[in-house]
Structure 1
Amino acid sequence: MTLLVSSTQGSADAPAADRGVGPLLRAWRERRRVSQLELALRADSSARHISFVETGRSRPGEELLLRLAEHLDVPVRERNTLLVAAGYAPRYRETPLDDPAMDALRSGMERLIQGYEPYPALVVDATYNVLAANRGITMLMDGLPESLLAPPLNAMRLTLHPEGLAPRILNLPEWRGHLLAQMERQIALHRSAPLRALYDEVCAYPVAETAPGAEPAEPVPYFALPMLIEHEGRTLSFISSISTFNTPMDVTVAELAIETLLPADPATVKYLHSLMG
């Protein structure tokens, strides 16, 4: 059974569109460490024109602005901000996930994560709010306090909160470091105030030392950093994989991610199949 809720994605903390397109474009170019000449060559323009746009002496055409945004890897939400700042209408819709127009997408994601059972899988938005989850995820959340399970569920909060999964994660320092580094990369890309606030919150959670003897007696040669988690006296191991949509034309779709937890050893595979067989 899946849990599906409306997406409540927050806007980025970039300056308002009334700041003007030039400063916004320059900020993205500097963030990506691309020179005006390099950007001009990529976008079939000139360094002089890029300079004029950034200083407000020239208004970029809509298609050029979109090409510049593409070559700077500007997130879809922020491309709309650039367009509005330049006096154009937003190009990309932001359709609520519970809108009838999203029926095919919702049902497709639900079938995907249900088909992944008995292994855990979930769908999250740009700030890690859980939009859908399969029975493998709900199994891992057994016994968590109601305060953490109240909507909107947040995957980072559930994982790293001292009353959440954190005490059960046997390699918490390593897994926590991986998750925080992942969030740092996303903050650098998206400039999201809600994501930054979430990062500051979970980063401040106290971290208990790993209990002696919690690690497996014999090291296992994992092919990627696993999450080692205790469940009913057993150590389960998972490798995380995250998928996003190619070339999204909607802000909501651009900010969706499907995370699947692949069992990293035969014992975990056997145990999960025994639970849901």
Structure 2
Amino acid sequence: MDTVASPAGAQYFSDFAAALRYWRGKRGISQLRLSADSGISQRHLSFLETGRAQPGKDLILKLGLVLDIPLRQRNAMLLAAGFAPAYRERSLSDPDLDAVKQALDFMLQQQSPYPALVVDRLWNLVMLNDPAARMLRFFLGMPEHAPIPRDGSINVLRTTLDPNGLRPALANWQLVCGDLLHWVQREAMGDGPGSEAAQLLDELTALPGIAEAAALPNLDRLALPFLPLTLCKDGVELNLFTAITTLGTPHDVTVHELRLETFFPADESSRRWFQHQAS
């Protein structure tokens, strides 16, 4: 069933002028540069940012594209200017998104025997492959065939950083937590204070030791071209790195916010462990 997105961030802009100033500042682009990139005169941009001129819907959509504003926040800008949202937000189970779900299923299966999972913008789990399920069950101490909810009720970041979750098995959690928090920090900056993203960020940083660890420099970046994850339990040590994939040029808020995280072994012993689990 279709729904029209009603972004939480809309309430944090008193008007379109405030929204435009915010996003231009966040992107670090001058009015002159934005004028050249958008084809809108610098004088008109100045009037838009001071509220002396009101934008049309097409102009807002053009600026959203030029400033690379997330679809959810483009809807917020439209609402702030008095227009209806332009981009729909639907459940991944919606029949119209069947092709997207099939593509994600295909990518998840192609990643075997290594783990892969699909999360939304707040890193709530919506899909995963069998290797990812086996890895989570092993390191979380779950029964071998215990079901893993795929309805967004599991937050991957919370599960990873929680002392009662994966953190005891994540040998280098102090080094990686800053990188993990970066994803939700970016969403919180876009949504504003009091939003769901900001609340999740507050919840994560309130976990024991997280605020202190997030302030540490990740010196591993000096030696490796990727973020290493080291999971250890019962004599098993897995050294992994991950890649994040998004779907190109979506026109739906839900699709725009989906991320596919794929895990790869960083050494031969980790590769053998996953291959053995799949056999």
Normalised by the shorter chain, which TM-score bucket?
0.7 to 0.9
1:189, 1:136 → 2: CA distance? 33
The yes-or-no answer on 1:13 pairing with 2:9 is yes
Q: Describe the superposition over 1:218-252 as per-residue Cα deviations: whole angstroms up to 9, x where unpaired.
A: xxx75422100014421001101000111110000
Per the alignment, residue 172 of structure 2 pairs with 171
1:136 aligns with 2:131: yes
Query: Is 1:89 aligned to residue 90 of structure 2?
Result: no
**Identical amino acids, percent of aligned pairs:** 37
Most deviating of 182-191 and 251-260? 182-191
- 1:238 corresponds to which letter in structure 2? L
2:137 aligns to what SS in structure 1?
coil
* RMSD between superposed Cα atoms in Å: 2.5
Contact 1:187 1:195 in 2 (8 A): yes
C-alpha distance in 2 between matches for 1:90 and 1:230: 46
Residue ranges of structure 2 left out of the alignment (5+ in a row): 143-147, 211-222
Larger RCO (CA under 8 A, 6+ residues apart): 1
Partner of 1:4: none
8 Å CA contact retained: 2:32, 2:42: yes
Q: Give me the TM-score of the superposition, normalised by structure 2.
A: 0.83
Q: Which residue of 1 aligns with 2:251?
A: 249
Out of 223, 226, 232, the residue aligned to residue 224 of structure 1 is 226
What amino acid is aligned across from residue 253 of structure 2 in structure 1? V
Q: Distance in 1 between matches of 2:136 and 2:49?
A: 49
How far apart, in 1, do the equivalents of 2:106 and 2:272 lie? 23
Residue 206 of structure 1 is matched in structure 2 by 208
Shift of residue 112, structure 1, vs aligned partner: 1.3
Using the TM superposition, name which of 241-250 and 81-90 deviates more: 81-90
Taking structure 1 as reference, are residues 90 and 25 closer, same or farther at Cα in structure 2, changes over 3 Å only?
same
CA contact (8 A) 1:145 1:163 kept: no
The answer for the alignment partner of 1:153 in structure 2 is 154
1:270 aligns with 2:265: no
CA distance in 2 between partners of 1:249 and 1:79 (Å): 11
Contact 1:222 1:264 in 2 (8 A): no
Equivalent residue number for residue 216 of structure 2? none
Rounded to whole Å, the distance in 1 between the matches of 2:255 and 2:42 is 33
Q: Contact (CA 8 Å) 2:9, 2:73: kept in 1 or not?
A: no
Q: Distance in 2 between matches of 1:40 and 1:162?
A: 49
CA separation of 1:136 and 1:222: change in aligned 2, threshold 3 A: farther
Larger displacement relative to structure 2 (49-58 or 244-253): 49-58
Amino acid at match of 2:163: P
**Which AA in structure 2 matches 1:172?**
W
Aligned to 1:98: 93
User: Which residue does 1:71 correspond to in 2?
Assistant: 66
TM-score with structure 1 setting the length: 0.83
Aligned residues: 255
Name 1:212's counterpart in structure 2: none
> 122-131 or 167-176, which moves further after superposition?
167-176
CA distance in 2, matches of 1:203, 1:166: 14
| Inter-partner Cα distance in structure 2 for 1:42 and 1:15 | 28
SS in 1 for 2:65: helix
Structure 1 stretch displaced more, 256-265 or 175-184: 175-184
Judge conservation of contact 1:162–1:207 (CA < 8 Å) in 2.
no
Give 1:190 shift: 5.1
Give yes or no for contact 2:122–2:187 (8 Å, CA) kept in 1. Answer: no
How has the CA–CA distance of structure 1 residues 145 and 275 changed in structure 2, closer, same or farther, with 3 Å as cutoff? closer
Deviations 1:242-263 (A, max 9, x none): 0011111000011000000111
Q: How far apart are the structure 1 equivalents of 2:6 and 2:136?
A: 25
Higher helix share: 2
Q: Per the alignment, in what secondary structure is the counterpart of residue 126 of structure 2?
A: strand
Q: Which moved more, 1:21-30 or 1:247-256?
A: 21-30
Structure 2 Cα separation of the partners of residues 222 and 84 of structure 1: 44
Residue among 229, 233, 236 paired with 2:235 = 233
